[in-house]
Structure 1
Amino acid sequence: MTISQVKRTAKESLRGNWGIAIGIFVLAWLILTVTGGILGWIPFVGQVAMILVTGPLYTGVAWVYLAISRGEQPDVAYMFSGFKEFGRTFVAYLLICIFTFLWSLLLIVPGIIKTYSYSQTFFILRDNPNISPLDAITESRHMMNGHKGRLFGLSLTFLLWYLIPIAVAIVGSVIVFSGAATSSYYSTDPSQVISTISAGAAFGGLVLILASWLITLGISLYVYPYLITSGAVFYDDLFAASEGTFTEETVIVADEEVDPFGTTEADPFVEDTHPEGFGPSTAKEPEVPEVPETPVTPETPETPEVPETPESPEAPENPEAPKDENEPK
């Protein structure tokens, strides 16, 4: 799929599901904000507790949007499904954080690239409950080979929305500082100049922070569910394009799971595997005989050309007799 097709499919999936999609985003944001505000005051232990909460919660949120993209009807409780598999979801989130941090030590760009490499991990955990966290990360890297640029382009189309609050903040800042500069230019009392600049800067800064926050929140209510759902559609498109993914334990092909080291169960609807009178009919339709083609009349062979009579070879000239040196002149 192209980027526009992925976004169109995601928007169609969200039709009629915007309520649950936005509600999941707001609830997850409130949980992380409140939890972070409470645990943030506890040194070290608070940070560890946040990781314990964030990993499973983020996984559950990703699973909700994956279900929405597939036409399912998840409820709010499904966002906490990551805690039911706490071991796998927490370890996967922790490993991703560690690996991304280590790559970021080189430069920022490698860290960003690896973020996209690991982006399919949580979706893989949902589709394959037997896979380990490290194998899911490895599988995500394999799936994203050659596709990281496309996913970056997809996410960039959503990040451009946030240029709106940035532009508003810049315009507001210019207006505030222009007003303060104008007041100071026409004022003769130095104390009044300082008072005007201070009041204008404080009031303008507060208004800009509040306005930027409100605009960002409003955009996020639309962009975040749309973005994660598009990522889920992108994942399904990758999965379909690769005709399944391979792990050490299972081979997932389309919608069926096959053990690579064993044999698959017989399909009960395959011919000769069910009793007579049950299942699909084995009778074959009579074949319509093909009309024989009219034989083609062979072409009359051309008369062979009479070979030309070869010319008789010329008789070689008689060589001159050698002269006798004793012959009188």
Structure 2
Amino acid sequence: MEINRKELRQTARKQLKGNWLWVIGLLIIPGIVNLFLEYITNYVWTGSFNTYNLSLVSWWQGLGWSIFTIITGLIATMIAWGVQYATLAFRDTGEKPNIFKAIFSSFTNGYFSKTFLTSLLTTLFTFFWGLLLIVPGIIKSFSYAMAPYIMKDMID
């Protein structure tokens, strides 16, 4: 079975026709939210938006900063997964919800616990594989790259 690339491009163009602003917003707004989370994390623990002031932070502030960073990292990951869920829904059904509803779709629709647990486990396993050496961590990051899609498929 040969894939006709020309037909695939035409189908993609037809589906995106008139929806470019929604798709671009779906890609830009989560980046802005993630930057905002990063700046808040840095400001809360260092009193500055600059990450280079970490030498002035005590050990307990560093521990709190690390925990807060992990939490905001998980939130950023779940936002990225929400974008993936919205993209899949748009591709499969043509459904185009509000951008903010689409971005935070991993927190709603009964996805929260499954998304949170899956993102936490893939992050932990990738980290532990990366402790062995760099190459196994890279290989496992590629192995777990399709986890959001598989999970969404299983839920639906």
TM-score normalised by the chain length of structure 2: 0.69
Equivalent position to 2:21, from 19, 22, 31: 19
Equivalent position to 2:138, from 107, 112, 126: 112
Query: Hey, which of these two has a bigger chunk of helix by percent?
Result: 2
Where does residue 141 of structure 1 map in the other structure?
none
Equivalent position to 2:102, from 78, 82, 92: 78
Unaligned runs of 5+ residues in structure 2 are 46-64
Deviation at 1:50, TM superposition (A): 0.8
- Regions of 4+ moved over 6 Å: none
Question: One-letter code of the match for 2:147?
Answer: T
Larger Rg: 1
Cα pair distance change 1:106/1:45, threshold 3 Å: closer
Q: Is residue 13–residue 70 contact of structure 1 (8 Å, CA) maintained in 2?
A: no
Cα pair distance change 1:39/1:73, threshold 3 Å: same
Distance between the aligned counterparts of 1:53 and 1:19, measured in 2? Answer: 25
Distance between the aligned counterparts of 2:37 and 2:118, measured in 1? Answer: 21
Question: One-letter code of the match for 2:88?
Answer: L
Where does residue 51 of structure 1 map in the other structure?
73
Where does residue 122 of structure 2 map in the other structure?
96
Deviation at 1:74, TM superposition (A): 2.1
Distance between the aligned counterparts of 1:74 and 1:95, measured in 2? Answer: 30
1:64 aligns with 2:81: no
Cα pair distance change 1:37/1:4, threshold 3 Å: farther
Unaligned runs of 5+ residues in structure 1 are 131-329
Give the total of aligned pairs. Answer: 130
Cα pair distance change 1:96/1:70, threshold 3 Å: same
Distance between the aligned counterparts of 2:139 and 2:37, measured in 1? Answer: 29
Equivalent position to 2:148, from 118, 122, 131: 122
Distance between the aligned counterparts of 2:145 and 2:4, measured in 1? Answer: 17
Where does residue 36 of structure 2 map in the other structure?
34
Structure 1 vs Structure 2 CA RMSD? 2.7
Deviation at 1:6, TM superposition (A): 9.8
Distance between the aligned counterparts of 1:87 and 1:3, measured in 2? Answer: 39
Deviation at 1:21, TM superposition (A): 1.0
SS at match of 2:155: coil
Cα pair distance change 1:3/1:82, threshold 3 Å: farther
Q: Is residue 51–residue 94 contact of structure 1 (8 Å, CA) maintained in 2?
A: no
- Listed as ranges, the matches of 1:156-175 within 5 Å are none
| CA deviation vs aligned residue, 1:280-323 (integer Å, no higher than 9, x gap) | xxxxxxxxxxxxxxxxxxxxxxxxxxxxxxxxxxxxxxxxxxxx
Identical counterparts, % of pairs: 32
Q: Is residue 74–residue 119 contact of structure 2 (8 Å, CA) maintained in 1?
A: no
Distance between the aligned counterparts of 2:14 and 2:141, measured in 1? Answer: 27
TM-score normalised by the chain length of structure 1: 0.35
Distance between the aligned counterparts of 1:22 and 1:121, measured in 2? Answer: 24
Distance between the aligned counterparts of 2:125 and 2:12, measured in 1? Answer: 30
Deviation at 1:20, TM superposition (A): 1.0
Question: One-letter code of the match for 2:130?
Answer: S
Deviation at 1:110, TM superposition (A): 2.4
Cα pair distance change 1:25/1:115, threshold 3 Å: same
Distance between the aligned counterparts of 1:116 and 1:3, measured in 2? Answer: 26
